[in-house]
């Protein structure tokens, strides 16, 4: 009954959804391309069956790339279809996986688009990453016999309370999931509270701990470090609207103590690159851009990372890292890329998307949570003043990542062998 009402409302709102897609394309042109795919209309892949993986955007794609590589190592002919919601996620799939997988945009959670998608791809299993819980999708998969696995699953207290407000609808939706591989005991408990049978929930940990740093990245980092020529450098990675101003405020404080300091500012979304560069100019700070490396010199105060896929390299080249999406109420981003490189890391109060990971790092003394931009500036200055303290915190971060590896192997054990047509 409730799912029927949900479906009707979604159909009625579809024109607005498509208009929003067009509006978003004014800032991010990728949203106006291939939009029919979101309605389940596309050319079928050359090989059908196999595994369907849904990873919303860049972070989720990055998390499942090692999983996909291992699956293809075990079954080189396994058809894998990867869906994403954002153009940046799509670009990362193409960059990281090329033609090893078939990529298409995720269909809207409506019977007609879902039917079109499933008829074309005919997957045997759906692996959803982290928080992708769609009622019609799950019901359709159950009806046609597609096994569903929610991988690297997390559920915040806030989200759990929202689901609890529509307890019957939530219980019916969650009951359609065949297996949940939760990041933590707390996540697992919330899924069980919402009605998922205990036997379908297990704790695997976060696969984001299983990241590996390629040798080629080390070489690129060294080139950048030579470019910085010993300057104090801190990076603000994956910043969001409203957060860049706070970061630049903090950098002015850092400059008052270290006049030669450099801030590497990396906006999360490419459609904001130009606006952030313009903001730096309005603030009267000397600017260079990663896309135009010839503009860098020792007088530059802010270096905007306006290229895609280079954040790990920029993080590795810095003395201190701040992970964005956390001074504003976005929920934070992956702080393990910096920790794995031994870069002391801080983040703001809003890290509900990384609650378990952030807590592990804080308790190990491998990261610091800051309350606001002023405290951020103080923390950056403290670390830049003390190289031995930076090294100690960075080493703790490396050890945390090493200790918590293994989730990838536990997740792989939950994926049954899939026959190849």
The residue extents of the domains of the chain are 2-205+406-412, 216-403
Are 61 and 84 contacting, i.e. CB atoms less than 8 angstroms apart? yes
**Domain 216-403 fold:** Rossmann fold (3.40.50)
Q: What is the pLDDT of residue 419?
A: 65
DSSP three-state, residue 384: helix
Instruction: Give the pLDDT mean for 404-410.
Output: 95
Tokens (6 digits) for 111: 């019977």
C-alpha distances in Å from residue 291, one per residue of 67, 133, 273: 31, 37, 10
| pLDDT, tens only, 314-356 | 999 999 999 999 999 999 999 999 999 999 999 999 999 898 8
- pLDDT bin (cut points 50, 70, 90) of residue 120 is very high
Burial of 171 (0-12, 13-18, 19+ CB in 10 A): middle
Q: What is the pLDDT of residue 59?
A: 87
Kindly calculate the radius of gyration of the chain based on its CA atoms and give it in whole angstroms.
Answer: 22
C-alpha distances in Å from residue 100, one per residue of 18, 93, 173, 204, 284: 30, 10, 32, 26, 46
Q: What is the pLDDT of residue 258?
A: 98
- Please give the positions annotated as active site: 60
- Interior/surface letters 68-101, b for 16+ CB within 10 angstroms, e for the rest: bebbeeebeebbbbbbbbbbbbbbbbeebbeeeb
| pLDDT, tens only, 224-270 | 999 999 999 999 999 999 999 999 999 999 999 999 999 999 999 99
Our measurement of the distance from residue 223's CA atom to the centroid of its chain's CA atoms, rounded to an integer in Å, reads 27
DSSP three-state, residue 390: helix
Is there a common fold for 2-205+406-412 and 216-403?
yes
Tokens (6 digits) for 235: 């990076």
C-alpha distances in Å from residue 397, one per residue of 111, 207, 363, 390: 46, 16, 11, 11
Q: What is the rounded CA–CA span in Å between residue 98 and residue 103?
A: 9
Residue 275 parent element (H or E): helix 273-282
Q: What is the pLDDT of residue 47?
A: 79
Contacts of 81 (CB under 8 A, 6+ apart): 45, 50, 51, 52, 53, 101, 102, 103, 104, 121, 123
Contacts of 220 (CB under 8 A, 6+ apart): 313
Q: Which residue, among 246, 399, 225, 220, has the nearest Cα to 322 in the 3D structure? A: 246
Residue 403 parent element (H or E): helix 387-403
Q: What is the pLDDT of residue 376?
A: 98
- pLDDT bin (cut points 50, 70, 90) of residue 417 is confident
pLDDT exceeds cutoff 70 at 308: yes
Q: What is the rounded CA–CA span in Å between residue 172 and residue 198?
A: 15
Q: What is the pLDDT of residue 26?
A: 81
pLDDT exceeds cutoff 90 at 24: no
CATH code of the domain made up of 2-205+406-412: 3.40.50.11720
| pLDDT, tens only, 207-226 | 999 988 888 888 999 999 99
More confident residue, 258 or 194: 258
Please provide the average confidence, as pLDDT, over all residues in the chain.
93
- pLDDT bin (cut points 50, 70, 90) of residue 421 is low
Strand partners, 104: 83
Q: Angle of helix 373-385 relative to helix 387-403, nearest 10 degrees?
A: 110
Instruction: Give the pLDDT mean for 370-386.
Output: 98
Q: What is the pLDDT of residue 67?
A: 96
Q: What is the pLDDT of residue 420?
A: 62
Contacts of 148 (CB under 8 A, 6+ apart): 125, 126, 128, 138, 141, 142, 176, 177, 178, 179
Helix segments in 175-272, DSSP class H: 185-193, 215-228, 243-257
What whole-number percentage of the chain has pLDDT above 70? 99
The predicted model scores a pTM of 0.88
Tokens (6 digits) for 46: 């050359």
What whole-number percentage of the chain has pLDDT above 90? 79
């Amino acid at each position: 009954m409730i799912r029927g009402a949900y479906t009707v409302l979604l159909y009625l709102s579809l024109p607005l959804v498509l208009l929003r897609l067009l509006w978003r394309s004014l800032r991010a042109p990728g949203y106006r391309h291939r939009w029919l795919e979101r309605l389940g209309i596309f050319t079928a892949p050359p090989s059908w069956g196999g595994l369907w993986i849904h990873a919303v955007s860049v972070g989720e794609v990055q998390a499942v790339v090692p999983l996909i590589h291992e699956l293809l190592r075990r079954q080189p002919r396994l058809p894998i279809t990867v869906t994403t919601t954002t153009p940046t996620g799509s670009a990362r799939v193409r960059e990281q996986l090329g033609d090893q997988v078939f990529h298409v945009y995720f269909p809207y959670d409506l019977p007609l688009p879902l039917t079109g998608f499933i008829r074309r791809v005919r997957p045997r299993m759906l692996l959803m990453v982290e928080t992708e819980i769609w009622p019609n999708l799950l019901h359709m998969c159950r009806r046609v016999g597609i096994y569903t696995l929610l991988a690297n699953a997390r559920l915040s207290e806030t989200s759990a309370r929202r689901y609890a407000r529509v307890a019957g609808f939530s219980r019916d939706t969650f009951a359609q999931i065949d297996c949940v591989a939760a990041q933590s005991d707390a996540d697992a408990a919330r899924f069980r509270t919402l009605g998922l049978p205990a036997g379908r929930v297990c704790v695997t940990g976060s696969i984001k701990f299983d990241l590996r740093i390629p040798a080629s990245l080390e070489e690129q980092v060294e080139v950048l470090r030579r470019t910085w020529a010993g300057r104090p450098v801190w990076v603000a990675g994956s910043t969001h609207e409203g957060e860049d101003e706070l970061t630049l405020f903090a950098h002015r404080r850092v400059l008052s103590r270290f006049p030669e300091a450099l801030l590497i500012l990396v906006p999360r979304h490419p459609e904001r690159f130009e606006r952030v560069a313009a903001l730096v100019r309005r603030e009267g700070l000397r600017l260079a851009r990663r896309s135009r490396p010839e503009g860098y010199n020792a007088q530059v105060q802010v270096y905007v990372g306006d290229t895609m896929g280079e954040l790990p390299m920029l993080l590795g080249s810095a003395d201190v890292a701040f992970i964005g999406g956390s001074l504003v109420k976005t929920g934070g981003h992956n702080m393990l890329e910096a920790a794995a490189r031994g870069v002391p890391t801080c983040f703001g109060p809003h890290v509900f998307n990384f609650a378990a990971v952030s807590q592990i790092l804080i308790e190990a003394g491998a990261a610091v949570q800051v309350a606001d931009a002023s405290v951020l500036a103080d923390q950056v200055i403290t670390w830049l003043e003390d190289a031995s303290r930076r090294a100690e915190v960075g080493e703790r971060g490396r050890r945390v990542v090493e200790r918590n590896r293994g989730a990838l192997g536990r997740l792989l054990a939950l994926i049954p062998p899939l026959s190849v047509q």
